[in-house]
Chain A
Amino acid sequence: MNQPTSIEKSRTAEEFLKGIWKENPVFVAVLGMCPTLAVTNTAINSLAMGLATTFVLAFSSLLVSSLRKVIPKQVRITTFIIIIATFVTVVDFMLAAIVPQVHKELGAFIALIVVNCLILGRQEAFASKNNIRLAIADALGMSLGFTFALLCIGIVREILGSGSLFNIPLFGSGFEPWVIMIMPPGGFLTLGFLLLFFNWMQKRRKEKAEEERGETRYEEAREFL
């Protein structure tokens, strides 16, 4: 393989970075909702789910991207799903062997990574159209963004719902945990309010930008006069 030029390098970096913030799969694209809400009742589970998804996404993207010229167009979705399902089976057995406790808590949700729209979406939209380096950069960026989002939700839910973080108690005995946060409604509410927060930040940034533009226009007008 020939050496990547600096343009290619910066493109790789760009594809990697976009998944973490600008096109964050959870907060911006709202993909892969089931695992996002189902397993984020503690920070540890969120991390495990994030890493499992990272593994599956990275290896599926690698395989799909390297086979992109061989896979016939008509059966591409089926092929992607078989590839993804294979890696999910690997991760399922791996977690059961290495961390049986976490595997038990995540239960069927590990198997459900197969139908995470985020993974299939990346294969269809990116890995099947780009070379291996870009595909891996995209996969790693997206899964890092996904893990980050899961951790955000998991940390909020664990602190409020159990008064601890990574199983380490944070508050004294006077703290009354909000049990609702580790129950299903807590997942919906936490993500809802996080999205609300991001919307609000975006709106403020836009208003600020407009304000600045308004000021410069005013100055320009004064100069003109």
Chain B
Amino acid sequence: MQELLWIFISALLINNFTLAYFLGLCPFLGVSGRLETAFRLGLANIFVMLITAVCAWGLNTFILPYAPYLRLISFIIVIASTVQFVEMAVKKLSPDLFRALGIFLPLITTNCAILGLALFSTSKGYGLVEGLFYALGAGGGVTLALVLLAGIREETKVLDIPKVIEGTALNLIIAGILSMAFMGFAGLFSAAG
């Protein structure tokens, strides 16, 4: 149990997918203009990552031992199509949830954070339960980073910022400072362990 908790915390804070591994940066920089949108994108990310963890575990256990060269292709195709099926199911079963997350799903199915999750969790040899906790931590970490950046960006809108720095340059510098703050979590493991 404790190990599962460490997997979760490690993916959430210490090895934050966005701020330490640079995964999922396109939506991070693109959709983080408004706090609410950023939060919903984060939730959609968690959702897809949980599906990904199940797919990655299934493929890695049953298919890939026989055909290791199919790793990338099978991950992408299986994840993308499963997400599409689940999307249809959600649309049918819970229109509210679909309305909240729907538009983001196609955007993130082939996102680097999703493929990165599949690759990292299989190369670390996680089982199904560990993989799910890893996905939850990673998705939570992405959401956290998105919400933090969106919050700061909303504040910068009312500030008097020099014209040259506006846009991507400013976002990257804010992200750099956030990433620096997250480096402070690196001692968490050694202090407790």
Contact = CB atoms under 8 A, between A and B. Distances in A.
* Interface size range on A against B: 35 or more
A200 interface: yes
Contact of B112 (A82, A92, A112): A112
A193 interface: yes
Contacts of A183: 183
A194 to B, nearest CB: 8
B37 to A, nearest CB: 19
A175 B172 CA distance: 27
Given A114-B72, A115-B110, A184-B183, A108 B173 contact: no
B164 A192 contact: no
Nearest to A114: B72
Contact of B25 (A34, A92, A108): A34
Interface SS majority for chain B: helix
Contacts of A165: none
Interface in A185-215: 185-189, 191-193, 195-196, 199-200, 203
B77 A38 contact: no
Contact of B180 (A30, A81, A185): A185
B165 A196 contact: yes
A102 interface: no
Nearest to B73: A85
A193 to B, nearest CB: 7
B116 A189 contact: no
Contacts of A81: 76-77, 80, 110
A199 B119 contact: no
Interface SS majority for chain A: helix
Given A85-B73, A111-B72, A196-B164, A37 B169 contact: no
Interface residues of B, number: 41
A94 interface: no
B173 A193 contact: yes
Contact of B176 (A33, A38, A111, A189): A189
A111 B118 CA distance: 11
Contact of B164 (A36, A78, A89, A199): A199
Interface in B164-193: 164-165, 167-173, 175-177, 179-180, 183
A33 B73 contact: no
A88 interface: yes
Contacts of B172: 188-189, 191-192, 195
B165 A85 contact: no
Given A192-B172, A196-B164, A85 B72 contact: yes
A114 B76 contact: yes
A86 interface: yes
Contact of A115 (B73, B111, B176): B111
Nearest to A203: B164
Contact of A192 (B20, B114, B116, B170): B170
Contacts of A112: 23, 112, 115-116, 119
Nearest to A115: B112
B6 interface: no
A112 B22 CA distance: 11
Given A82-B77, A203-B163, A37 B22 contact: yes
A108 B72 CA distance: 11
A113 B129 CA distance: 28
5 contacts: A38-B23, A78-B77, A81-B77, A180-B180, A185-B176
Interface of A: 30-31, 33-34, 36-38, 78, 81-82, 85-86, 88-89, 92-93, 108, 111-112, 114-117, 120, 180, 183-189, 191-193, 195-196, 199-200, 203
